[in-house]
Every structure is written in structure tokens, then in C-alpha cells.
Amino acid sequence: MRAFFYFCTLYFGTIMKKNIVLFVLFVLPIVAYLFFASGVNSFTKLPVITPKVADFGNWKSLKNEKVSLDNKITILGFSGSNLLKNRGNYFNLNEKIYQRYHTFKDLQFVVVCPLGTEEQAKSLIDVLKGFTDVSQWHFVFASPEDINAYYSQLNLVGKLDKDLGTPNVYILDKERNLRGRKEKKGYKEGYSTFHPAELSNEMLDDFKVILYEYRAALKKNHNATKKL
């Protein structure tokens, strides 16, 4: 009898050890991946870096239309005078973010450009038009003085270069609040369009948080209306 219990203990102990090893090797990595893939920021509200930034005023777009930041989630960029030279940055942004979400009606991608770069912007739009619905892309034009003044009121640590541009883009919510993720040394203000991995990971993660906020708010308002 003693031998029988010993055998059973040894047998089931071996099975348990195998199951634990299988769990560690196969199941645990999948669980960890799903956790980290969802992103730390997915469980919190994206912080406000600069509240209530100014709207554009009477700046005109390529279509000679007034573009406003009100009631739109805006991806905001500053092209500088060498727009075509840096066109790869816009292709990265278009591929990693724009093409996935441009059908969201409350979203717009706005690029602030110096006066005199209209033809460069038109050439870029014409290229994007070949493989993208460009209806949510907007290029607006202003004087160097106006661009510097506008950028200054964003209260960012980073500065525009001598051509009035930056590879970074910024997320603004519908209330014109500039949003960004909390980091160990402060806040991440913008996302580099020069690095596709940063767009695919950090920016996409943070952008999803903003969308989740609004979808949750819409659902809450819808439920409140039904109760009325």
C-alpha cells in the first residue's frame, strides 16, 4: 500500500510539474503580451499638458476654407518651409495612424505651413491622394510671425527649427486641450513622425485612449438619454 501511495504521489507530482512548465512556457507569455500590448495608458486618462490652446483664427487651407480645432480630435503638425524634403514623415503618419482612423468623422489631421509653401503642400496631397482618402488632411498657411506666436502658446519644451518646422505631431482633444502621456521625467508632448515605431507604439496607444474617452462619453450620454 505504501508503495502504491508513493507511486501515485510521484506520478501526479510529475504531471503537475509538466503542467507548470507548460504554463510558464506557453500561457504566461501570452498573458503578459496581451497585458502590455493594451498599453499602460489604456487604463488611465491621457493627461492634459496645455489646456485650451488657441484656435487658428482666419488662416486658410489649400481649399481656401477655414479650419477650426473646435469639436474635433486633431493631430497637429508644423511642416516648416521644406515640406517636400520631409514628405517621408507625412507618409509615415499617413500609414501608421491616418489610414486606420480617417473614417472617424470627428478626427482631422492639420499641418501648419508657412505662406509660400502652398505648391509643396498641393504636391504632397496629390501623392497621398493616389492611395488615400485625403478628406481629413488639412494644410493651413500663416506668416512666420503667426506660426511662432501660435507655437509659443502651446507651452512646449521642444522648439521649432529655423524653417518653422518639427518632425513631431501633437494630439489635441475636442476642447482644444493638448494631451500627452506621463513619463518619469515629465510628459511626452509629441510623437516623432520620423520614427515609424514611435507612431505604431506610443502614439497609437495614446490615440486609442482619446478615442476610448469619447466613445465612453457617447455611450454614457446615450444611456442617460434613454433613461429620460
Domain 48-223, CATH class in plain words: alpha beta
Rounded mean pLDDT, 43-54 = 87
Inform me whether the pLDDT recorded for 218 exceeds 50: yes
Inform me whether the pLDDT recorded for 2 exceeds 90: no
Q: Which tens digit of pLDDT belongs to each residue from 116-162? A: 999 999 999 999 999 999 999 999 999 999 999 999 999 999 999 99
pLDDT of 187 reads: 87
Inform me whether the pLDDT recorded for 169 exceeds 50: yes
Residues 6+ apart with CB under 8 A from 18: none
pLDDT of 215 reads: 81
Inform me whether the pLDDT recorded for 214 exceeds 90: no
% of the chain beyond a pLDDT of 70: 76
Rounded mean pLDDT, 49-64 = 93
Question: Is 226 strand, coil or helix?
Answer: helix
Question: Is 13 strand, coil or helix?
Answer: helix
Residues 6+ apart with CB under 8 A from 65: none
* Residue 56 DSSP class: -
Q: Which tens digit of pLDDT belongs to each residue from 26-44? A: 555 554 444 444 444 444 6
Q: What is the mean pLDDT of the chain?
A: 84
Comparing 72 with 57, the larger pLDDT belongs to: 72
pLDDT of 202 reads: 94
Closest Cα partner for 150 from 129, 126, 176, 131?
A: 176
Determine the Cα–Cα distance for residues 187 and 45; give it in Å rounded to an integer: 13
**What are the two backbone dihedrals, phi and then psi, of residue 54, each rounded to the nearest 5 degrees?**
-70, 150
Determine the Cα–Cα distance for residues 9 and 92; give it in Å rounded to an integer: 59
C-alpha cell at 226: 434613454
C-alpha cell at 116: 509660400
Alpha helices in the chain (DSSP H): 2-22, 28-37, 87-93, 99-101, 118-129, 144-152, 196-198, 204-227
Are 55 and 176 within 8 A, CB to CB?
yes
